[in-house]
Amino acid sequence: MELIKIAGVNYTYSDGTEALQDINIVIQSGEKVAVLGANGSGKSTLFQLFNGLLEPTAGDVYIKGLHAEKKNYKAIRQIVGMVFQDPDDQIFSPTVKQEIMYGLLNMGQPRQKISGIVNWALQVVGLEGYEDKNPYYLSGGEKKRVALASIIAMKPDILVLDEPTAALDPRGVDQLVDLLNKINKELNITLIFATHDVDVVPLLADYVYVLNKGKIKLSGLTAEVFSHKQAIWDNNLRLPRVAHLVELLVRDGFLSTTELPLTVGEAKRILQSKLKS
Ligand SMILES: Nc1ncnc2c1ncn2[C@@H]1O[C@H](COP(=O)(O)OP(=O)(O)OP(=O)(O)O)[C@@H](O)[C@H]1O
Ligand SMILES: [Mg+2]
Protein backbone atom coordinates (compact mmCIF):
# COMPACT_ATOMS: atom_id res chain seq x y z
CA MET A 1 0.00 0.00 0.00
CA GLU A 2 1.20 3.46 -0.97
CA LEU A 3 1.60 5.37 2.31
CA ILE A 4 3.35 8.48 1.01
CA LYS A 5 3.26 9.98 -2.44
CA ILE A 6 5.08 13.18 -3.28
CA ALA A 7 4.34 14.28 -6.82
CA GLY A 8 6.19 17.08 -8.60
CA VAL A 9 6.83 19.02 -5.40
CA ASN A 10 8.71 22.30 -5.14
CA TYR A 11 9.21 24.29 -1.97
CA THR A 12 10.46 27.87 -1.95
CA TYR A 13 10.92 29.75 1.34
CA SER A 14 9.57 33.29 1.63
CA ASP A 15 13.07 34.74 1.12
CA GLY A 16 13.26 33.03 -2.28
CA THR A 17 15.41 30.01 -1.26
CA GLU A 18 14.41 27.12 -3.53
CA ALA A 19 14.79 24.38 -0.96
CA LEU A 20 13.11 21.58 -2.97
CA GLN A 21 12.68 21.16 -6.71
CA ASP A 22 10.70 18.57 -8.64
CA ILE A 23 10.58 15.97 -5.89
CA ASN A 24 8.86 12.65 -6.67
CA ILE A 25 8.78 9.98 -3.98
CA VAL A 26 6.59 6.96 -3.32
CA ILE A 27 6.92 5.05 -0.06
CA GLN A 28 5.13 1.76 0.51
CA SER A 29 3.82 0.51 3.81
CA GLY A 30 6.49 -1.24 5.90
CA GLU A 31 9.49 0.24 4.08
CA LYS A 32 12.55 1.72 5.78
CA VAL A 33 13.76 4.72 3.85
CA ALA A 34 16.86 6.86 4.36
CA VAL A 35 17.19 10.39 3.02
CA LEU A 36 20.82 11.46 2.65
CA GLY A 37 22.36 14.75 1.62
CA ALA A 38 24.78 17.44 2.72
CA ASN A 39 23.85 20.29 5.07
CA GLY A 40 21.23 22.48 3.45
CA SER A 41 20.27 19.90 0.79
CA GLY A 42 16.59 20.03 1.82
CA LYS A 43 16.05 17.01 4.09
CA SER A 44 14.33 18.82 6.97
CA THR A 45 12.25 20.86 4.52
CA LEU A 46 11.10 17.65 2.83
CA PHE A 47 10.18 16.08 6.15
CA GLN A 48 8.00 19.02 7.12
CA LEU A 49 5.88 18.34 4.04
CA PHE A 50 5.01 14.88 5.39
CA ASN A 51 2.75 16.19 8.14
CA GLY A 52 1.63 19.56 6.85
CA LEU A 53 4.09 21.73 8.78
CA LEU A 54 4.95 23.17 5.37
CA GLU A 55 2.76 23.25 2.26
CA PRO A 56 4.37 22.69 -1.14
CA THR A 57 4.78 25.74 -3.36
CA ALA A 58 3.91 23.43 -6.27
CA GLY A 59 2.89 19.79 -6.60
CA ASP A 60 1.02 17.44 -4.30
CA VAL A 61 1.58 15.37 -1.18
CA TYR A 62 -0.64 12.40 -0.33
CA ILE A 63 -0.48 10.55 2.98
CA LYS A 64 -2.32 7.22 3.00
CA GLY A 65 -4.39 8.59 0.14
CA LEU A 66 -5.25 11.86 1.94
CA HIS A 67 -4.25 15.00 0.09
CA ALA A 68 -2.09 17.19 2.35
CA GLU A 69 -4.26 20.25 2.87
CA LYS A 70 -5.72 22.01 5.91
CA LYS A 71 -8.87 19.94 6.25
CA ASN A 72 -6.81 16.72 6.38
CA TYR A 73 -3.96 17.84 8.67
CA LYS A 74 -5.49 16.47 11.85
CA ALA A 75 -5.92 13.01 10.31
CA ILE A 76 -2.49 13.19 8.68
CA ARG A 77 -0.78 14.06 11.98
CA GLN A 78 -2.23 10.89 13.51
CA ILE A 79 -0.76 8.87 10.66
CA VAL A 80 2.67 10.55 10.59
CA GLY A 81 4.70 10.82 13.78
CA MET A 82 7.57 13.27 13.47
CA VAL A 83 10.72 13.32 15.57
CA PHE A 84 12.43 16.67 14.92
CA GLN A 85 16.12 17.26 14.34
CA ASP A 86 16.34 19.37 17.50
CA PRO A 87 14.41 17.92 20.47
CA ASP A 88 14.13 21.42 21.95
CA ASP A 89 11.74 22.22 19.07
CA GLN A 90 9.54 19.35 20.18
CA ILE A 91 9.55 19.04 23.95
CA PHE A 92 7.64 21.60 26.00
CA SER A 93 6.12 19.83 29.03
CA PRO A 94 7.50 20.22 32.57
CA THR A 95 7.89 16.47 33.09
CA VAL A 96 8.80 13.53 30.87
CA LYS A 97 5.53 11.81 31.76
CA GLN A 98 3.41 14.83 30.81
CA GLU A 99 5.32 15.15 27.54
CA ILE A 100 4.37 11.60 26.56
CA MET A 101 0.81 11.97 27.88
CA TYR A 102 0.15 15.14 25.90
CA GLY A 103 -0.17 13.52 22.47
CA LEU A 104 -2.09 10.56 23.87
CA LEU A 105 -4.69 12.81 25.54
CA ASN A 106 -4.94 14.85 22.34
CA MET A 107 -5.69 11.66 20.42
CA GLY A 108 -8.47 10.88 22.85
CA GLN A 109 -6.86 7.84 24.50
CA PRO A 110 -8.80 6.90 27.66
CA ARG A 111 -6.99 8.06 30.83
CA GLN A 112 -6.88 4.56 32.37
CA LYS A 113 -4.85 3.28 29.40
CA ILE A 114 -2.40 6.15 29.35
CA SER A 115 -0.12 5.28 32.23
CA GLY A 116 0.49 1.80 30.79
CA ILE A 117 1.40 3.30 27.41
CA VAL A 118 3.73 5.86 29.01
CA ASN A 119 5.58 3.11 30.86
CA TRP A 120 5.82 1.03 27.70
CA ALA A 121 7.20 3.94 25.64
CA LEU A 122 9.79 4.80 28.32
CA GLN A 123 10.88 1.20 28.52
CA VAL A 124 11.19 1.00 24.73
CA VAL A 125 13.61 3.96 24.66
CA GLY A 126 15.45 2.88 27.81
CA LEU A 127 14.29 5.72 30.06
CA GLU A 128 12.45 3.87 32.83
CA GLY A 129 12.41 5.92 36.01
CA TYR A 130 12.56 9.26 34.16
CA GLU A 131 8.78 9.93 34.45
CA ASP A 132 9.02 12.89 36.82
CA LYS A 133 12.21 14.46 35.49
CA ASN A 134 12.13 17.87 33.85
CA PRO A 135 13.11 17.32 30.19
CA TYR A 136 14.75 20.74 30.12
CA TYR A 137 17.63 19.45 32.26
CA LEU A 138 18.16 16.15 30.44
CA SER A 139 21.21 15.54 28.24
CA GLY A 140 20.91 15.89 24.45
CA GLY A 141 20.68 12.14 23.92
CA GLU A 142 18.12 11.72 26.70
CA LYS A 143 15.99 14.50 25.21
CA LYS A 144 16.08 12.71 21.85
CA ARG A 145 14.81 9.56 23.54
CA VAL A 146 11.99 11.45 25.25
CA ALA A 147 10.93 12.96 21.92
CA LEU A 148 11.01 9.50 20.34
CA ALA A 149 9.03 7.96 23.23
CA SER A 150 6.32 10.62 22.95
CA ILE A 151 5.88 9.85 19.26
CA ILE A 152 6.09 6.05 19.47
CA ALA A 153 3.47 6.14 22.23
CA MET A 154 0.93 7.30 19.63
CA LYS A 155 1.74 4.29 17.39
CA PRO A 156 1.79 6.19 14.10
CA ASP A 157 1.71 4.36 10.75
CA ILE A 158 4.77 6.32 9.67
CA LEU A 159 7.67 7.39 11.85
CA VAL A 160 9.67 10.28 10.41
CA LEU A 161 13.01 10.91 12.13
CA ASP A 162 15.25 13.84 11.33
CA GLU A 163 18.83 12.91 12.30
CA PRO A 164 17.82 10.33 14.91
CA THR A 165 21.38 9.29 15.79
CA ALA A 166 22.83 12.79 16.21
CA ALA A 167 23.69 13.45 19.89
CA LEU A 168 23.53 9.76 20.81
CA ASP A 169 26.53 7.96 22.31
CA PRO A 170 27.91 4.92 20.36
CA ARG A 171 25.92 2.35 22.35
CA GLY A 172 22.90 4.61 22.05
CA VAL A 173 23.23 4.54 18.26
CA ASP A 174 23.39 0.71 18.22
CA GLN A 175 20.39 0.51 20.55
CA LEU A 176 18.42 2.96 18.43
CA VAL A 177 19.14 0.99 15.24
CA ASP A 178 17.91 -2.21 16.93
CA LEU A 179 14.90 -0.40 18.34
CA LEU A 180 13.85 1.15 15.03
CA ASN A 181 14.23 -2.17 13.20
CA LYS A 182 12.10 -3.79 15.88
CA ILE A 183 9.45 -1.07 15.72
CA ASN A 184 9.32 -1.47 11.95
CA LYS A 185 8.99 -5.24 12.08
CA GLU A 186 6.83 -5.82 15.13
CA LEU A 187 4.57 -2.77 15.01
CA ASN A 188 4.64 -2.54 11.20
CA ILE A 189 5.62 1.12 11.36
CA THR A 190 7.08 2.57 8.17
CA LEU A 191 10.35 4.44 8.80
CA ILE A 192 11.73 7.50 7.06
CA PHE A 193 14.88 9.02 8.44
CA ALA A 194 17.44 11.64 7.47
CA THR A 195 21.02 11.11 8.50
CA HIS A 196 24.64 12.06 7.89
CA ASP A 197 25.72 8.76 9.43
CA VAL A 198 26.32 6.60 6.33
CA ASP A 199 27.54 3.70 8.47
CA VAL A 200 24.06 3.38 9.98
CA VAL A 201 22.23 3.44 6.63
CA PRO A 202 22.88 -0.20 5.56
CA LEU A 203 21.80 -1.38 9.02
CA LEU A 204 18.51 0.45 8.92
CA ALA A 205 17.38 1.33 5.40
CA ASP A 206 16.04 -0.78 2.53
CA TYR A 207 15.78 2.20 0.25
CA VAL A 208 17.79 5.43 -0.09
CA TYR A 209 17.15 8.86 -1.59
CA VAL A 210 20.07 11.26 -2.04
CA LEU A 211 19.28 14.97 -2.09
CA ASN A 212 21.62 17.61 -3.43
CA LYS A 213 20.64 21.30 -3.47
CA GLY A 214 16.94 20.44 -3.27
CA LYS A 215 16.91 17.79 -6.01
CA ILE A 216 16.87 13.99 -5.86
CA LYS A 217 20.12 12.90 -7.46
CA LEU A 218 20.11 9.19 -6.67
CA SER A 219 17.56 6.71 -5.40
CA GLY A 220 17.21 2.97 -5.14
CA LEU A 221 17.82 -0.03 -2.93
CA THR A 222 20.57 0.68 -0.39
CA ALA A 223 23.22 -1.58 -1.98
CA GLU A 224 22.43 -0.23 -5.43
CA VAL A 225 22.79 3.42 -4.34
CA PHE A 226 26.14 2.77 -2.61
CA SER A 227 27.38 0.92 -5.69
CA HIS A 228 27.40 4.28 -7.54
CA LYS A 229 30.65 5.24 -5.81
CA GLN A 230 31.46 8.29 -7.88
CA ALA A 231 27.91 9.65 -7.59
CA ILE A 232 28.03 9.13 -3.81
CA TRP A 233 31.21 11.20 -3.70
CA ASP A 234 29.84 13.84 -6.12
CA ASN A 235 26.87 14.35 -3.81
CA ASN A 236 29.12 15.11 -0.82
CA LEU A 237 28.61 11.70 0.78
CA ARG A 238 30.97 8.80 1.38
CA LEU A 239 30.79 5.03 1.51
CA PRO A 240 30.41 3.25 4.86
CA ARG A 241 33.91 2.94 6.39
CA VAL A 242 34.02 -0.82 6.06
CA ALA A 243 33.28 -0.54 2.32
CA HIS A 244 36.09 1.99 1.99
CA LEU A 245 38.52 -0.36 3.75
CA VAL A 246 37.69 -3.21 1.35
CA GLU A 247 38.00 -0.83 -1.59
CA LEU A 248 41.54 0.10 -0.46
CA LEU A 249 42.53 -3.55 0.02
CA VAL A 250 41.33 -4.32 -3.51
CA ARG A 251 43.04 -1.24 -4.95
CA ASP A 252 46.38 -2.18 -3.36
CA GLY A 253 46.16 -5.79 -4.53
CA PHE A 254 45.64 -7.47 -1.13
CA LEU A 255 42.15 -8.67 -1.90
CA SER A 256 40.32 -9.71 -5.00
CA THR A 257 36.54 -9.29 -4.89
CA THR A 258 33.88 -7.47 -6.85
CA GLU A 259 31.59 -7.38 -3.82
CA LEU A 260 31.26 -4.18 -1.82
CA PRO A 261 30.39 -4.94 1.80
CA LEU A 262 28.37 -2.22 3.53
CA THR A 263 28.31 -3.65 7.05
CA VAL A 264 30.88 -5.29 9.33
CA GLY A 265 28.92 -8.56 9.00
CA GLU A 266 29.15 -8.54 5.20
CA ALA A 267 32.86 -7.63 5.30
CA LYS A 268 33.54 -10.45 7.76
CA ARG A 269 31.87 -12.97 5.44
CA ILE A 270 33.87 -11.81 2.39
CA LEU A 271 37.23 -11.57 4.21
CA GLN A 272 36.80 -14.93 5.93
CA SER A 273 36.13 -16.74 2.67
CA LYS A 274 39.15 -15.04 1.03
CA LEU A 275 41.51 -15.59 3.97
CA LYS A 276 40.62 -19.28 4.11
CA SER A 277 41.28 -19.91 0.43
N1 LIG B 1 12.92 29.26 7.30
C2 LIG B 1 13.77 29.32 6.28
N3 LIG B 1 13.85 30.44 5.52
C4 LIG B 1 14.69 30.50 4.46
N5 LIG B 1 15.50 29.50 4.07
C6 LIG B 1 15.46 28.36 4.80
C7 LIG B 1 14.60 28.22 5.94
N8 LIG B 1 14.79 26.99 6.46
C9 LIG B 1 15.71 26.40 5.68
N10 LIG B 1 16.12 27.21 4.69
C11 LIG B 1 17.10 26.92 3.61
O12 LIG B 1 16.60 25.81 2.85
C13 LIG B 1 17.64 24.94 2.45
C14 LIG B 1 17.35 23.54 2.93
O15 LIG B 1 17.41 23.53 4.34
P16 LIG B 1 17.11 22.22 5.19
O17 LIG B 1 17.06 22.63 6.61
O18 LIG B 1 15.92 21.55 4.62
O19 LIG B 1 18.42 21.35 4.89
P20 LIG B 1 18.90 19.97 5.55
O21 LIG B 1 19.19 19.04 4.42
O22 LIG B 1 17.92 19.52 6.56
O23 LIG B 1 20.28 20.39 6.22
P24 LIG B 1 21.00 19.80 7.58
O25 LIG B 1 21.73 18.56 7.16
O26 LIG B 1 21.95 20.89 7.94
O27 LIG B 1 19.96 19.56 8.62
C28 LIG B 1 18.93 25.56 3.01
O29 LIG B 1 19.52 26.30 2.00
C30 LIG B 1 18.44 26.45 4.14
O31 LIG B 1 19.31 27.55 4.31
MG1 LIG C 1 18.03 19.16 8.57
Q: What is the pLDDT of residues 106-128, one digit of tens each?
A: 888 888 999 999 999 999 888 99
User: From CA 153, how far away is CA 4, in angstroms rounded?
Assistant: 21
Is the C-alpha dihedral spanning 82, 86, 89, 92 positive or negative?
positive
User: From CA 193, how far away is CA 218, in angstroms rounded?
Assistant: 16
User: In this predicted model, what pLDDT tens digit does every residue of 225-275 receive, in sequence order?
Assistant: 999 999 999 999 999 999 999 999 999 999 999 999 999 999 999 999 888
Cα of 237 to ligand 2 centre, how many Å?
A: 15
Q: Is the CB of 19 under 6 A from ligand 1?
A: yes
Q: What is the pLDDT at residue 107?
A: 87
User: From CA 52, how far away is CA 9, in angstroms rounded?
Assistant: 13
Going by CA atoms, what residue is nearest to atom 30 of ligand 1?
40
Q: Is the CB of 48 under 6 A from ligand 1?
A: no
Q: Please name the residue ranges forming H helices in 129-221.
A: 140-152, 170-186, 201-204
Which ranges of the chain have pLDDT less than 70? 277
pTM: 0.93
Q: Is the CB of 42 under 6 A from ligand 1?
A: yes
**Could you tell me the fold of the domain covering 2-226?**
Rossmann fold (3.40.50)
Return the H-helix or E-strand segment holding 67.
Answer: strand 66-67
